């Protein structure tokens, strides 16, 4: 049977890079064998779900290139969960419970045992009613083994399993039930998900068997992603939203490449991989079980290399969104595509993210130079007035080409016993507003004599 895999995000926030890595592994397993990749929105928690997060999931998946064959929303599948819960109750494998959280915690404290539910309502024979939840009853004895292609075959003693709620008192299904019911109904062959789900997998398998599921799917619990302090990535502390990386100008193919390497490596050791490379070489069995370091610095370097590998035309096309609203601070009519095309090769060699392009070229299209007081203070030393006077005089008459502009500045600096590095700082800040940017003299050439002289005179007047 061709593999059927699924990615099942909850729309409670932006799509997490760890989730995207999981989606990619599922996608690869399906695509390698002409199987089906299913996107399932787990939106049963109405209080936490938002439609904008659903659309964000769709947009992020499309942006990074992970297409899906089937789409489902759990909020539209309630009848299936009701039927499954009724089947479990009728077979004696589920019972109603009216224990409040406070009562469960109080009993645990009194017995000085581990936290969790103690089976208080197992034999009470309660029926459905207000404030009552339905719980699944695992076997009291024995153990469940979870065959996992990444983690071996961990065994879970049934005595350590509590009785999970499968239907809330509100009537809404819990994840543990809906997850199994959907995987059964969708004929999922491979459950590839984060290692945080491993402890709940025994309950998954017991529910699967209780619902007559037959052959179990293949399990692969992929390693957690950690930051530079080896802490699990946290959306409250770390940059984990795929949307953020998209908006910062990371290339989708670079994100996909980098995420693939978080837990897996190509057999030949190559790190720069195309989708075709991944499809040819990826094996879910080769994924490691150790935490994977999400190294933003390495990702940034990957992205910079990929930007420099683009053709000039492709770079200009990829940079286009950052040259217009809402990213560009200039008026739309001020943008000059020809001028940008002349600057593009210089910018392409220096940026690591496409979002950096805007600040590299804004001085050309803004009416006035951007104001950066720190750069001004750093560059406008006591010699700046005399230097700008000399440069203005030279630039009024010299040929307007980069090599002549450089020669004129060198001569002006030598007259004041200044090396080029020192002499060019006031000119760069006067014209561009910053101490760093694309090569100065090529930038001056593109901007034109009138614009450059206006900026130099304005800066001289400020001193």
Q: What is the pLDDT of residue 67?
A: 98
Domain co-membership, 345 together with 410: no
User: Rounded CA gap, 262 and 245, in Å?
Assistant: 16
Domain co-membership, 442 together with 325: no
231 belongs to a structural domain: no
Half-sphere exposure (CA, 13 Å, Cβ side) for 353?
16
Q: What is the pLDDT of residue 47?
A: 77
Domain co-membership, 446 together with 402: yes
- pLDDT of 112 over the 80 cut: no
Domain co-membership, 303 together with 314: no
Q: Which of these three, 257, 272, 307, is where a domain ends? A: 307
User: Rounded CA gap, 95 and 200, in Å?
Assistant: 19
234 belongs to a structural domain: no
Domain co-membership, 289 together with 315: no
Mean pLDDT, residues 58-85: 97
390 belongs to a structural domain: yes
Q: What is the pLDDT of residue 258?
A: 98
Q: What is the pLDDT of residue 116?
A: 84
233 belongs to a structural domain: no
- pLDDT of 111 over the 90 cut: no
- Percent pLDDT > 70 in the chain is 100
Domain co-membership, 320 together with 299: no
Domain co-membership, 67 together with 194: yes
236 belongs to a structural domain: no
Tell me the CATH number at 135. 3.90.800.10
DSSP state letters, 145-212: E--BTTTB--EEEGGG----EEE-TTSPBPHHHHHHHHHHHTT--EEEEEGGGGGGHHHHHHHHHHTT
Q: Which of these three, 167, 188, 209, is where a domain ends? A: 167
131 belongs to a structural domain: yes
Q: What is the pLDDT of residue 370?
A: 87
Domain co-membership, 8 together with 35: yes
Domain co-membership, 150 together with 201: no
Tell me the CATH number at 261. 1.10.1160.10
Domain co-membership, 275 together with 329: no
Domain co-membership, 152 together with 115: yes
Q: Which of these three, 142, 167, 192, is where a domain ends? A: 167
pLDDT band at 372 (very low <50, low <70, confident <90, very high): confident
Q: What is the pLDDT of residue 199?
A: 95
Tell me the CATH number at 448. 1.10.10.350
**What's the mean per-residue pLDDT of the chain?**
95
Q: What is the pLDDT of residue 1?
A: 84
Domain that holds residue 249: 242-307
pLDDT, one tens digit per residue, over 340-368 is 999 999 999 999 999 999 999 999 999 99
Tell me the CATH number at 183. 3.40.50.620
Categorise residue 263: left if φ over 0, alpha if ψ from -120 to 50, beta otherwise.
Answer: left
Tell me the CATH number at 349. 1.10.8
Domain co-membership, 301 together with 446: no
Mean pLDDT, residues 241-253: 97
pLDDT band at 106 (very low <50, low <70, confident <90, very high): confident
pLDDT, one tens digit per residue, over 19-59 is 999 999 999 999 999 999 999 999 987 778 889 999 999 99
351 belongs to a structural domain: yes
Q: Of residues 235, 298, 381, 419, which has the active-site annotation?
A: 235
| Cβ-proximal residues to 116 (8 Å cutoff; 6+ apart), any chain | 104, 108, 162
275 belongs to a structural domain: yes
pLDDT, one tens digit per residue, over 153-178 is 999 999 999 999 999 999 999 999 99
Domain count for the chain, please give it: 5
> Is 235 an annotated catalytic residue?
yes
């Amino acid at each position: 049977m061709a593999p059927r895999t699924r990615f099942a995000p909850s729309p409670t926030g932006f799509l997490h890079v760890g989730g995207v890595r999981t989606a990619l592994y599922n996608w690869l397993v399906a695509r390698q064998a002409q199987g089906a990749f299913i996107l399932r929105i787990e939106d049963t928690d109405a209080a936490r779900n938002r439609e904008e997060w659903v659309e964000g999931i769709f947009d992020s998946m499309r942006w990074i290139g992970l297409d899906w064959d089937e789409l489902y929303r759990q909020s539209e599948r309630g009848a299936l969960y009701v039927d499954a819960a009724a089947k479990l109750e009728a077979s004696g494998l589920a019972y109603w419970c009216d224990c409040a959280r406070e009562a469960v915690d109080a009993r645990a404290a009194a017995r000085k045992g581990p936290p969790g539910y103690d089976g208080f309502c197992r034999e009470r024979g309660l029926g459905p009613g207000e404030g009552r939840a339905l719980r699944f009853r695992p076997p009291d004895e024995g153990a469940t083994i979870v065959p996992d292609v990444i983690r071996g075959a961990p065994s879970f003693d049934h005595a350590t399993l509590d009785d999970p709620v499968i239907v809330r008192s509100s009537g809404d299904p819990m994840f543990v039930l809906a997850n199994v019911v959907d995987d059964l109904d969708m004929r999922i062959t491979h459950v590839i998900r984060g290692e945080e789900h491993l402890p709940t997998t025994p309950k998954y398998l017991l529910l699967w068997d209780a619902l007559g599921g037959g052959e179990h799917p293949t399990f692969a619990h992929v390693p957690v992603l950690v930051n530079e302090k080896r802490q699990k990535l946290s959306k409250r502390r770390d940059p984990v939203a795929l949307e953020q990386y998209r908006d910062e100008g990371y290339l989708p193919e670079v994100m996909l490449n980098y995420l693939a390497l978080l837990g897996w490596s190509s057999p030949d050791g190559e790190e720069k991989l195309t989708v075709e490379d991944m499809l040819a070489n990826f094996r879910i069995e080769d994924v490691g079980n150790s935490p994977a370091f999400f190294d933003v610095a390495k990702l940034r370097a990957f992205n910079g290399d990929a930007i420099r590998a683009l053709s000039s035309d492709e770079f200009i096309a990829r940079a286009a969104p950052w040259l217009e609203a809402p990213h560009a601070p200039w008026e739309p009519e001020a943008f000059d595509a020809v001028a940008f095309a002349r600057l593009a090769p210089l910018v392409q060699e220096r940026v690591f993210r496409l979002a950096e392009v805007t600040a590299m070229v804004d001085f050309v299209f803004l009416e006035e130079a951007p104001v950066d007081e720190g750069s001004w203070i750093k560059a406008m030393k006591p010699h700046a007035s005399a230097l700008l006077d000399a440069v203005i005089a030279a630039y009024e008459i010299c040929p307007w080409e980069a090599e002549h502009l450089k020669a004129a500045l060198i001569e002006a600096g030598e007259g004041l016993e200044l090396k080029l590095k020192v002499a060019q700082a006031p000119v760069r800040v006067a014209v561009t507003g910053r101490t760093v940017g694309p090569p100065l003299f090529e930038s001056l050439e593109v901007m034109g004599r009138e614009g450059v002289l206006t900026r130099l005179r304005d800066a001289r007047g400020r001193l």
